[in-house]
A and B are shown apart, each in its own frame.
Chain A
Amino acid sequence: MDKTVKNEIMLITGTRKGIGKYLAEYYLDKGVTVIGCSRGESSIDNDKYRHFILDVSDEKAVISMVRDVKKEFGRIDVLLNNAGAASMNHILLTPYKTIKETTETNYFGTFLFLREVSKVMLKKKYGRIVNFASIATPLKWEGEAAYAASKAAVENLTKIAAKEVAEYGITVNALGSTPVWTDMINRVPKEKLDGILSQQAIKRLGEMKDVSHLCDFLIDEESNFITGQVIFLGGVS
C-alpha cells in the first residue's frame, strides 16, 4: 500500500458522482476500504466499497450509518466530508427552499458526519477529517450567496472542531477547491467561468488529481501537527 495511505477505513460522503466518486475510486485503487453514501444507488463496483443511501442532513440516517460502519469495521480512520449541493442565483431571486436545502446539505450534513465520526475516532485516539470548502467563499462570487455562505460555515466549523477534538488525536482541515470539471461546473456559462479563473493566481480549472494530492497530504499520518487549516487550490487566499 502507498505510504501516504496507511489509513485503512475511510468514509466519504457524496460518492455517486463528481469529486466524491473520483476520490472513492482513487483510494480504492490504493487498497483502502471505502464506505460511501449518496441519495441514490451506488455507481461504484468494488469489493472494498460499501454504499449507503441517505440524505446527509437526515440526522437519524447518519447516526445509523456511522453505527453500522463501526460495527462492521471497528473504526474509521478518515472522513472526507465531500457531499455538497451547488446553487447559483441572484439573492433577490433565491427561494427560501433553495437556501435551506443548500445549507442542509453543505453545512448540516458536514456537521452531522463530523460529530458522529469523531465519536468513533476518539476511541482510537486517531482520525483525519477533511471538510470541503470552496473558493466561492474568499472570492465572494456574485450569484453564489447561498453556496458560499454555507461553505463559510464549513470553514468556521473546521477551525473550531480542530480545537475541540485535537486532544483525541483527530485533525480537522478543509480543502477549498477551485472549479473542477464536474456536473456542477457544466451549468456555469463560459464568460462567468473565465471571470472566475481570472481571480486565481493560477488561472486554470482544477483537475481531480489536484484535489486528491491535497487530500493525501491532509490525511497523511505524518500530518499530525496540521489542523484547523483551510487550504485553497489555485493560489486563492
Chain B
Amino acid sequence: MKNQIEAIIIEALQDLNDDIESESLENPNKDTKIFGEDGALDSLALVSLISDLEEGIHDHFDKDVTLADEKAMSQRRSPFGSVETLTEYIEILING
C-alpha cells in the first residue's frame, strides 16, 4: 500500500509541476520536500495538491479521506513536509 500511496503523491506532484514549474519537483522521490522549510509548494499550491490527492486516493482505494489537518499549515510539524511523511499520514488515514 505504501508504494501505491507514494506513487499517487509523486504523480500528483508531477501534474502540479506542469503549472508551477518548480525545479525541485522535476523528479520527485520520497525525500522531496513538499511544504514548510525548503518545501516546493506555497499554501495555494498545497491546497491544489490536497484536492488531487483526495481524488487519487478515492480512485485507487475507493476511500473518501479528507486530508484536512490541524497541523497542515505548520512549518515544522505538517504531515505535508515531505513525500515520505505524507505517505505515512495518508496510510494512517486510509487504515483508520
B-side interface mostly? helix
1/0 per residue, CB under 8 A from A, across B17-58: the answer is 000000000000000000000000000100110110011001
**What 10 pairs across the A-B complex have the smallest Cβ distances?**
A119-B51, A63-B64, A167-B44, A64-B64, A122-B48, A67-B58, A60-B64, A63-B66, A122-B51, A67-B64
Give the secondary structure class of A's interface. helix
Complex Cα gap A120–B50 (Å): 11
A115 to B68 Cα, complex, angstroms: 10
Q: Which residues of A contact B51 (CB under 8 A)?
A: 119-120, 122-123
Shortest beta-carbon distance from A74 to chain B in Å: 12
Chain A residues proximal to chain B, CB less than 8 Å: 59-60, 63-64, 67, 70, 115, 119-120, 122-123, 167-168
Chain B nearest CB, measured from A75 CB (Å):
13
Q: Mark B46-84, 1 if CB is under 8 A from A, else 0.
A: 011011001100100000101010000000000000000
In the assembled complex, the CB of B43 is this many whole angstroms from the nearest CB of chain A, namely: 9
Question: Bound complex: CA of A59 vs CA of B66, how far in Å?
Answer: 9
Across the interface, which residues of B come within 8 angstroms of A63, CB to CB? 64, 66
Given contact pairs A59-B66, A70-B55, enumerate 10 new A-B contacts (beta carbons under 8 Å): A63-B66, A64-B64, A67-B55, A115-B68, A119-B51, A122-B47, A122-B48, A123-B48, A167-B44, A168-B44
Shortest distance from the beta carbon of B2 to any chain A beta carbon, whole Å: 24
- Some 14 contacts from A to B, beta carbons below 8 A apart, are A59-B66, A60-B64, A63-B64, A63-B66, A67-B55, A115-B68, A119-B50, A119-B54, A120-B51, A122-B47, A122-B51, A123-B48, A123-B51, A167-B44
- Min Cβ gap B12→A in Å is 12
Chain B min CB distance to A52 (Å) = 14
**Which residues of B are found within 8 Å of A67, using beta-carbon distances?**
55, 58, 64
Given the complex of chains A and B, what is the CA–CA distance between A70 and B51 in angstroms? Answer: 12
| Chain B contacts for A119, CB-based, 8 A | 47, 50-51, 54
Distance in angstroms between the alpha carbons of A23 and B50 in the assembled complex: 32
| Cα distance, A64 to B68, chains bound together (Å) | 15
CB distance from A76 to the nearest CB of B (A): 13
Query: Who on chain A is nearest to B58 by CB?
Result: A67
Bound CA–CA A70/B47 (angstroms):
17
Q: Which of A63, A119, A167 has the most CB of B within 10 A?
A: A119
Q: How far is the CB of B93 from chain A (nearest CB, A)?
A: 13
Q: For residue A70, which residues in chain B have a CB less than 8 angstroms away from its CB?
A: 55
In the bound complex, CA of A226 to CA of B48 (Å): 23
Determine how close the nearest CB of chain A comes to the CB of B19; give it in whole angstroms.
10
Nearest chain B CB to A101 CB, angstrom units: 22
Distance (Å) between the CB of A7 and the closest chain B CB?
20
Q: How far is the CB of B16 from chain A (nearest CB, A)?
A: 11
Complex contacts, A115 vs chain B, CB 8 Å: 68
Chain B residues near A168 (CB, 8 Å)? Answer: 44
Q: In the complex, which residues of chain B have a beta carbon less than 8 angstroms from the beta carbon of A60? A: 64
Rounded to whole Å, the gap between the CB of A64 and the closest CB of chain B is 6
User: Complex formed: what's the CA distance from A168 to B68 in Å?
Assistant: 19
